[in-house]
Structure 1
Amino acid sequence: TTMPGSLPVNAESCWPKDVGIVALEIYFPSQYVDQTELEKYDGVNAGKYTIGLGQSKMGFCSDREDINSLCLTVVQKLMERNSLSYDCIGRLEVGTETIIDKSKSVKTVLMQLFEESGNTDVEGIDTMNACYGGTAALFNAINWIESSSWDGRYALVVAGDIAVYATGNARPTGGAGAVAMLVGPNAPLIFERGLRGTHMQHAYDFYKPDMVSEYPVVDGKLSIQCYLSALDRCYAVYRNKIHAQWQKEGTDRHFTLNDFGFMIFHSPYCKLVQKSVARLFLNDFLGDQNLETANSVFSGLEAFRDVKLEDTYFDRDVEKAFMKASAELFNQKTKASLLVSNQNGNMYTPSVYGCLASLLAQ
């Protein structure tokens, strides 16, 4: 007998096929700060932001735009460009951490666009947790379509933020923008079922405790450590899940970065993404069962065979060696995705989807 709540044998057959992103739209402000000019203005060494962080420009909003207008614009553009009527949307969820009202959601503001159609039967609200809200909203949309709540209509996911920092080290890592994604079955870009790796943890690396300020409190070093350790954990969970899936299908081999067509990341700044590719390559190296590295992709890295992941977040030798060893991987599978990030900065919740848009556009 199967346990209550477990999967019935024939459950697969009744799920909608190929649920994923059907259409995608991006919007960011037309104003920007040139990072070379910001270097001069801040009195720092030339190249600190452009080479050190990998950033060229930083988008910002004038007083004519706010989080509501960014999201209104990106949704209207998506709907018009794809000739969609507003009654074909059954769920709309917004991921954002740009909170301008402690009660009213951005989602309700977006309902203005639906008024003419008469469609008020639209599930979903705002989802808030730092830069993760957009991804949570996307997962919720996919889950809704694959659930008994689904009524056959599309889900619309909006991720939008305005990232601004007080004067200091973090200021050049700001940005602003919004991405809207239409989610449905028979999508050209599908999400593989059962292959999501999550890591959740309590930390005070980035938070906004001051209700009258839009500036976050940031512990830069801890923030990078949180990012890299979450990356390690998510990759480990993902590899275990796909390995188990492959074993079921009769293939007994381990997943490596070679199995990815492309790799896109949440991008606080471009250099961290390049370091993240190196980080995943380090994971592959430490998980490699074949200790004979001389003729493999890991040749020259033998000295690092015994390092522990949790000791290497700020190890310059490890970072340098693995960035060099993974440079080809980065150029082939990730570099193209950084266009918007490099030219506009960190959009917070839509950051990773801006990377997706960059990749698809090229």
Structure 2
Amino acid sequence: HPAALPGSSQACPEDVGILALEVYFPAQYVEQAELERYDGVEAGKYTRGLGQQQMGFCAAHEDINSLCLTVVQRLVERGRLSWDAIGRLEVGTETVIDKSKAVKTVLMELFRDSGNSDVEGIDTTNACYGGTASLFNAAAWVESSAWDGRYAVVVCGDIAVYATGNARPTGGAGAIAMLVGPNAPLVLERGLRGTHMEHAYDFYKPDLASEYPVVDGPLSIQCYLRALDRCYAVYRRKAESQRQQAGIQQPFTLDDFKFLIFHTPFCKLVQKSVGRLLLNDFLAAPNPDTSGGLYKGLQPFRGVKLEDTYTSKEVEKAFQAASQEIFNQKTKPSLLLSSRNGNMYTPSMYGCLASLLAQCSAQDLAGSRIGAFSYGSGLAASMFSLRVSQDASPGSPLDKLLSSLADLPARLDARKRVAPQDFAEIMKRREETHHLANHTPHGSHTDLFPGTWYLERVDDKYRRQYARNSGGAKMPFSQLLTAAPSPGESLGGQFLMDKSGEATREGSALLGALPGPWGPWPDRTSVRHQRLQRPLHPEQTVLGAMGQSLEGQRLRGRD
């Protein structure tokens, strides 16, 4: 393939994993403390009881297609990639707006101008697990005989909305796109994966006319914790088997993970989950010291059976307290997005990964193992691990990955705060109109970040039309992808114009004029024929940057 990686056909690729990661979340949110007062519940029910601070949400003019369009285009533009360099794109989502047509097929419009339609992969759905299944599939493709040397892109996105009531504060929305290939700074560890699947009605969406799920809250938490127990047991057994093959007789414990990330329906459940893993270690230890140290005071629980503890508040409190420092060190840094944007469903755990990377230094991460637990109701769950590259030097792939995510706190701070009563009205309007044909969805361009794709109209045959908010004038999806290259040259199939009709750079920087931090990929992972030209002037926006880096394409702005 003309965009294949150099030497891709000569040997099995090494260090397959995540090369780059992009995050999208809505530009508006509601404060959970204010929502408590509006809902008339006890103060702290959402903030302390659930561990949630804020909740991002989408108005009616954002849907799963627009979220995924935004995050994929952001990944390609900021990564200075050619659309030809992508050979697989797979979407994990449970936000179904069409029972036949996949989100992936809509995303292929982004590839149209490149002429690249040779892109494998399709949508994968099972509650919040689809993103992880897509990641496993992408890595398997890169490691397989079918790989042609190009990158894979994994997209996970969802809009988590609930009917009025106790579950509504556990909503959220967002999308994450990951670039997968060899020589990655975050490597999927081979042979270290534990999976558990079973049939359960803990959370499901049988009403195809509604966005709202049917939820059995207590059962869902029990299913989550049982899946965690079983995935950890399988993962630990495989890790110890690898050690034994290497002549090492040493049990695997939480100490072997420097960091732990989890699927996060709400942050308090994650804190309980760390305690749950400590309980597993405690029961597996041949002779734990209960007179001091980590297991001090836990002797009364020595004889318990895991299956008898899922509803035990005594066990939960004891091990949550004992694991507090483990949680603070290994997991708490990963909860930035979850606590401030809410549950994104399929992107949830990967939002935790992004949060961790955004708040840790390359030196602190280098060489570490990140344990990851992914869960989707119904149910499907896996525990796996990522090994971080040892190279933390300036300009290394790891350094560039962290730099690209360093703006997450600032982007969260830049969102628009919405009063609870206005939030409730927006949710009501979304509920009433999300399924309509021949409809223009309600929503303002000012409620979107610049560079965000949005749903412009649904016609009388339910065909959806999208446009991109450039911070200036908008252009419909069809024009963005087919317009002639004048008066501005195309940028990955886009034109961003001001009201006078001239190509503009002002006001159209993507998601806050954040500079593209990665620069050229190292030679070992560079895409053949990709031209990365002169360094950017500090005043140039991301949009201007892309004009100088995408296969010689440029965006001409006014001097």
Q: TM-score range by the shorter chain?
A: over 0.9
Superposition deviation, residue 348 in structure 1: 0.2
Superposition deviation, residue 166 in structure 1: 0.8
Q: Which residue number in structure 1 is paired with residue 334 of structure 2?
A: 337
Could you list the runs of 4 or more consecutive aligned residues of structure 1 that deviate by over 6 angstroms after TM superposition?
none
For residues 152 and 291 of structure 1, the distance between their equivalents in structure 2, rounded to whole angstroms, comes to 49
For residues 313 and 286 of structure 1, the distance between their equivalents in structure 2, rounded to whole angstroms, comes to 15
Q: Which residue number in structure 2 is paired with residue 321 of structure 1?
A: 318
The residue type paired with residue 236 of structure 1 is A
Q: Which residue number in structure 1 is paired with residue 466 of structure 2?
A: none
For residues 76 and 165 of structure 1, the distance between their equivalents in structure 2, rounded to whole angstroms, comes to 29
1:28 aligns with 2:25: yes
SS in 2 for 1:198: strand
Superposed CA deviations along residues 235-272 of structure 1, whole A, max 9, x for unmatched, are 00000000000100110111000110100000000000
Superposed CA deviations along residues 278-300 of structure 1, whole A, max 9, x for unmatched, are 00000000111114422342111
For residues 24 and 283 of structure 2, the distance between their equivalents in structure 1, rounded to whole angstroms, comes to 40
The residue type paired with residue 118 of structure 2 is D
Q: Which residue number in structure 1 is paired with residue 75 of structure 2?
A: 78
Q: Which residue number in structure 1 is paired with residue 356 of structure 2?
A: 359
For residues 312 and 169 of structure 1, the distance between their equivalents in structure 2, rounded to whole angstroms, comes to 25
Q: Which of 202, 205, 225 is the aligned partner of 1:205? A: 202
The residue type paired with residue 153 of structure 1 is R
The residue type paired with residue 308 of structure 2 is D
8 Å contact kept, 2:86–2:153:
yes
Q: Give the alignment of 1:249-268 within 5 angstroms.
A: 249-268=246-265
SS in 1 for 2:155: strand
Task: Report the number of matched residues.
Answer: 350
SS in 2 for 1:83: coil
For residues 283 and 78 of structure 1, the distance between their equivalents in structure 2, rounded to whole angstroms, comes to 39
For residues 105 and 167 of structure 1, the distance between their equivalents in structure 2, rounded to whole angstroms, comes to 29
Superposition deviation, residue 167 in structure 1: 1.4
The residue type paired with residue 85 of structure 1 is S
For residues 40 and 311 of structure 1, the distance between their equivalents in structure 2, rounded to whole angstroms, comes to 37
For residues 82 and 207 of structure 1, the distance between their equivalents in structure 2, rounded to whole angstroms, comes to 36
8 Å contact kept, 2:282–2:288:
no
For residues 154 and 249 of structure 1, the distance between their equivalents in structure 2, rounded to whole angstroms, comes to 33
SS in 1 for 2:104: helix
Q: Give the alignment of 1:1-362 within 5 angstroms.
A: 14-362=11-359
State the percentage of identical aligned residues. 74
Q: Which residue number in structure 1 is paired with residue 421 of structure 2?
A: none
SS in 2 for 1:275: helix
For residues 330 and 178 of structure 2, the distance between their equivalents in structure 1, rounded to whole angstroms, comes to 22
For residues 291 and 195 of structure 1, the distance between their equivalents in structure 2, rounded to whole angstroms, comes to 25
SS in 2 for 1:199: strand
For residues 268 and 291 of structure 1, the distance between their equivalents in structure 2, rounded to whole angstroms, comes to 32
For residues 170 and 198 of structure 1, the distance between their equivalents in structure 2, rounded to whole angstroms, comes to 27
Superposed CA deviations along residues 312-347 of structure 1, whole A, max 9, x for unmatched, are 112111111111100000000000000000000000
SS in 1 for 2:71: helix
Q: Which residue number in structure 1 is paired with residue 495 of structure 2?
A: none
Aligned-residue Cα RMSD (Å) equals: 0.9
For residues 48 and 224 of structure 1, the distance between their equivalents in structure 2, rounded to whole angstroms, comes to 17
SS in 1 for 2:190: coil
SS in 1 for 2:262: coil
The residue type paired with residue 107 of structure 1 is K
For residues 184 and 199 of structure 1, the distance between their equivalents in structure 2, rounded to whole angstroms, comes to 26
Superposed CA deviations along residues 179-224 of structure 1, whole A, max 9, x for unmatched, are 0000000000000001110000000000000010010000000000
SS in 2 for 1:161: strand
The residue type paired with residue 150 of structure 1 is W
Unaligned runs of 5+ in 1: 1-12
SS in 2 for 1:194: strand
Superposition deviation, residue 14 in structure 1: 4.3
For residues 351 and 23 of structure 1, the distance between their equivalents in structure 2, rounded to whole angstroms, comes to 17
Superposition deviation, residue 131 in structure 1: 0.3
For residues 122 and 166 of structure 1, the distance between their equivalents in structure 2, rounded to whole angstroms, comes to 38
For residues 291 and 39 of structure 1, the distance between their equivalents in structure 2, rounded to whole angstroms, comes to 43
Superposed CA deviations along residues 11-46 of structure 1, whole A, max 9, x for unmatched, are xx9421000000000000011111111111111000
For residues 184 and 196 of structure 1, the distance between their equivalents in structure 2, rounded to whole angstroms, comes to 19
SS in 2 for 1:15: coil
SS in 1 for 2:226: helix
Superposed CA deviations along residues 32-65 of structure 1, whole A, max 9, x for unmatched, are 1111111111110000000000001111101221
8 Å contact kept, 2:288–2:295:
no
Superposition deviation, residue 134 in structure 1: 0.4
Structure whose residues are more often helix by fraction: 1
